[in-house]
Chains A and B, each alone.
Chain A
Amino acid sequence: MLLLLPAAAFFTSHARARDTLSTDQPVLIQPVLVAAVMCEAIEKFKPVNQAVVFSISLGRVFCFTEFDPVPQETTVYHRWYRQDRLISTAKLVLNPPKWSSFSTMQLREADKGPWRVEIVDSREKLMKTLRFSISD
């Protein structure tokens, strides 16, 4: 029904964030989610064609998340639900000082309908819910 691709993650240099972490801000245990979008593709570490409706003909759909700062190495999860049924969970490892990662879902004909992806931190705290639909 689905093919969960290995979550991809990539580090982006972000000196200002790292400085802020070391001087003004208290040490954060959990990363801060600064961007979470559904998109048609990932190119050059950036989401392409953010949308809330995707055609089944695309073959796959991506969930892109960006965390800044990431105080320490930690884990987040992308939980993919079709309607209210959990289809898959992607475990993503985040590394300091900032990190972007994505998970993807291979689509089939039976996958049409409303979906959501829940982004959950290592403490099972819901950080963000992205809602989208798979259409013809």
Chain B
Amino acid sequence: MGQFFYQFFGIGWQGFFDIALNSYILFRLYVLFRGTNVLRVLFAMGIFWVLRQVAVSMGLVVTSWAMQGVIAVAALVIIIVFRNEISSVLQTRDLKSFFWGIPRYQRNTPVHIIVEGVYELARKKIGALIVLPLNQGVESFVQKGISWQGKLSKEMLVSIFWDDNPVHDGAAVIQGDRITNVGVILPLSKRADLPSYFGTRHRAAVGLTEQTDSMVIVVSEERGKITLVKDNRIYDINDRSVLEKLLIKHAGQDTAAAGLKKHTRELAAAAAVCLVCVTGLWLSFSRGMESLATHTIPVEFIKSDQNMEIFSSSASSVTLLISGARPLIRSLGPDRITVKLSLANTVPGTNKLAVSRSSVTLPPGIVVKNIDPSMIEVTVDVPVKKELPVQPFWTGRLSRDLIMTLAETTPEKVHVIGPRQVLTQMETLFTEPLPLDGITASGRISALIVLHPPTIRLADQDKHTISVEYTIHKRETVSP
């Protein structure tokens, strides 16, 4: 559990935003496509994806390849087969309902109105074909149809199938308490065992129920008989209560309050499932897509003895090879990484300090793979001040007939500050190389003082340059 929270709180705000956004998108897809077969196919694709991941992790090359192919084909199938559902969702003009609208609880189908309407149609011998879809939807199996979206009433139902009505030949689709489509053409059954008195309407009713979980009510125009078809079974309705019972069974018996509660519970469960799925997916991806990065971080030396001073170090920064989830690595800046080395156990002189992983501070979820260099040489000592003479460093060749008899520096001595161990052994400072080749007579030149080793420095930082006055004489005896 602790590890989970460690991992989870290491996500960062980008991760939380990523999960929240995609959970919402998934939830919206569920809301928009709820009640259609698109969701089932998407669910099947999800299962195939999980199977593919398992196959990949187990090294099943062909299986993973096949699963990938199935997923690709399924994606294509969704677009082709469910084009009507997809287009109806995308073509909505109500952006609010598209992006954030939660459909309210769908009222129960008013069974008694349908019963009354159907019996009125039968009594008047008006042929009718009424479709009551369940979960599967009928959009993919029917043709044409005119959107009606009218509130269901007995009069409305009768008027739709009235002979003079242009849409009376097709079927009416009832969803909830509304007539959503009229004039809908249903697929015909090719069954040969149907009764001989069954006309086109009956065959259409059987045809649709063969392919969907809808219930279809047929009113015969010639005989005024009511037939109900459900799950490929045909019921001759002779009793109003039987029709009502079958309709209630098909539409459900929830009361408004119970239905609302169930509806809310279903949406909450769907939202939770979306959140869990996307979180799992994110963690899976972020772990699977572990990436590497290098950062060059300056080393902070922590002094324990304030009298000690660092005079030199073989490296002032280290290059870290770190790994972690790609989002974490991408969002990680050098300012969030620190490398600290303690000088508590050092002694005056050169010390080798190991740069271990414990020296590196990183945000949770990121680990160090490599440290370069892993060892740093640090020269620490008590700083002391010493006065040293400065000696000219002559190079080149003086003319053979000349001789330099004197070379004096001004100032003759300078003060330097450096490690006690170093300055104890130092007796002289030297100038930069001074060329002899151009010298023909006595004169004066300026020269820089060379500070070596680099751990020493001049007490007066501005006096890096000295003056060298030299005296040249003609050689009395030219050496061979």
On chain B, the residues within 8 Å of A33 by CB distance are none
The interface bits of chain B over 353-397 (1 if a CB of A lies within 8 angstroms of the residue's CB, else 0) are 000000000000000000000000000000000000101111111
- Could you tell me which residues of chain A, from 55 to 85, have a CB within 8 Å of some CB in chain B? 55, 58, 81, 83-84
**B404 and A52 form a contact (CB under 8 A):** yes
On chain B, the residues within 8 Å of A41 by CB distance are 479
- Rounded to whole angstroms, the CA-CA distance of A114 and B397 in the bound complex is 14
Q: Which residue of B lies closest to A38 (CB)?
A: B405
**B403 and A133 form a contact (CB under 8 A):** no
A116 beta carbon closer than 8 Å to chain B:
yes
User: Which secondary structure dominates where chain A touches chain B?
Assistant: strand
**B391 and A136 form a contact (CB under 8 A):** no
Stretch at the interface among A1-9, A11-19, A43-51, A87-95: A43-51
User: Which residue from A49, A84, A112, A135 sits with its C-beta under 8 Å from B479?
Assistant: A49
A131 beta carbon closer than 8 Å to chain B:
yes
Q: Which residue of A lies closest to B404 (CB)?
A: A53
The number of chain B residues with a CB under 8 A from chain A is 26
**A52 and B425 form a contact (CB under 8 A):** no
- Rounded to whole angstroms, the CA-CA distance of A37 and B403 in the bound complex is 14
B398 beta carbon closer than 8 Å to chain A:
yes
- Rounded to whole angstroms, the CA-CA distance of A52 and B392 in the bound complex is 10
The interface bits of chain A over 94-119 (1 if a CB of B lies within 8 angstroms of the residue's CB, else 0) are 00000000000000000011101000
The interface bits of chain B over 398-416 (1 if a CB of A lies within 8 angstroms of the residue's CB, else 0) are 1010011111000000000
A40 beta carbon closer than 8 Å to chain B:
yes
On chain A, the residues within 8 Å of B476 by CB distance are 49
Report the minimal beta-carbon distance from B449 to chain A, rounded to whole angstroms: 13
- Rounded to whole angstroms, the CA-CA distance of A116 and B390 in the bound complex is 12
Instruction: Report if A52-B405 is in contact (Cβ < 8 Å); known contacts: A83-B428, A84-B426, A114-B428.
Output: yes
**B391 and A84 form a contact (CB under 8 A):** no
B305 beta carbon closer than 8 Å to chain A:
no
User: Which residue from A40, A113, A135 sits with its C-beta under 8 Å from B436?
Assistant: A135
**B406 and A136 form a contact (CB under 8 A):** no
- Rounded to whole angstroms, the CA-CA distance of A133 and B404 in the bound complex is 10
For the A-B complex with A55-B398, A58-B479 known, give 17 more contacts whose Cβ atoms are closer than 8 Å. A49-B477, A50-B405, A51-B404, A52-B404, A52-B406, A52-B470, A53-B404, A53-B436, A55-B397, A55-B400, A114-B394, A114-B428, A131-B407, A133-B392, A133-B393, A135-B394, A135-B398
Name 28 A/B residue pairs within 8 A (Cβ), A-sorted. Answer: A49-B475, A49-B476, A51-B403, A52-B404, A52-B406, A52-B470, A53-B394, A53-B404, A53-B407, A53-B436, A55-B397, A58-B479, A81-B427, A83-B428, A84-B426, A84-B428, A112-B395, A114-B394, A116-B391, A116-B428, A131-B407, A131-B428, A133-B393, A133-B394, A135-B395, A135-B398, A135-B436, A136-B396
